[in-house]
Amino acid sequence: MTNIIHHHLSDDLLHRYCAGSLPRPFAVVVAAHLSLCDECRAAAEAEDHLGGALLDCSEAAPLAEGLRDRLLLALDDAPPPPAGPRPSGIFPAAVMEALDGNPPKWRMLGGGIRQQVLSDDAEGSLRLLYIPPGRAVPEHGHRGLEMTLVLQGSFSDCEGRFSRGDVECAHDEIDHQPVAGEGEPCICLAATDAPLRFRAMIPRLLQPIFRI
């Protein structure tokens, strides 16, 4: 049965993704969502077509010497095989690429919650989260943007209920405490551009260790 997606990407995020201006952690979340959401994928394709039309209308630039001949020679070459990992189970291709084609290597955070940090640098942080059914993550706010895509199960917070394919964009005005739904564990892909802001003391003390 096809999952119905209720929470989509904003027009601004789609535009920045198509323009190639999104930081990589957020671009991975967007790419994974597009692989699951027909509506947002159609909107992204429309953005791409619009960009192509604008290029067609722009003034032509002179080509480098010999470029035409090199291009014609390249057309005779066999097409390269598809690059990058394929989707695997609940994980879209963009997530498998971030995992280097391997299964997740979970690290315990406490209370049955696990994570794998996929990247953490100046562009932001990208991680997978595993939350057991009925378990709540510590209440927190944000110093920037947090994008969370559900890959399995569901969670609920003050913004609503999110299930497979849904994406939540939480900014610095939102404080929430996501709670995993009953049934199967909730597995999410999350990107942030700044450390979270925890209310409780213990999460604040552990924050540097777990890189959240």
Residue recorded with tokens 């943007």: 145
**Residues with Cβ within 8 Å of residue 108, at least 6 apart in sequence:** 114
Reported pTM: 0.82
Residue 192's closest CA among 21, 16, 51, 29? 29
CB atoms within 10 A of CB 63: 9
What domains can be seen in the chain, in order of their start residue? 8-212 (2.60.120.10)
Is the CB of residue 118 less than 8 Å from the CB of residue 97?
Answer: no
Per-residue pLDDT of the chain in tens (212 residues, 90 and over written 9): 457 999 999 999 999 999 999 999 999 999 999 999 999 999 999 988 665 554 556 566 676 777 767 767 777 666 665 567 899 999 999 999 999 999 999 999 988 999 999 999 999 999 999 999 999 998 999 889 999 999 999 999 999 999 999 999 999 888 999 999 999 999 999 999 998 888 777 777 767 776 77
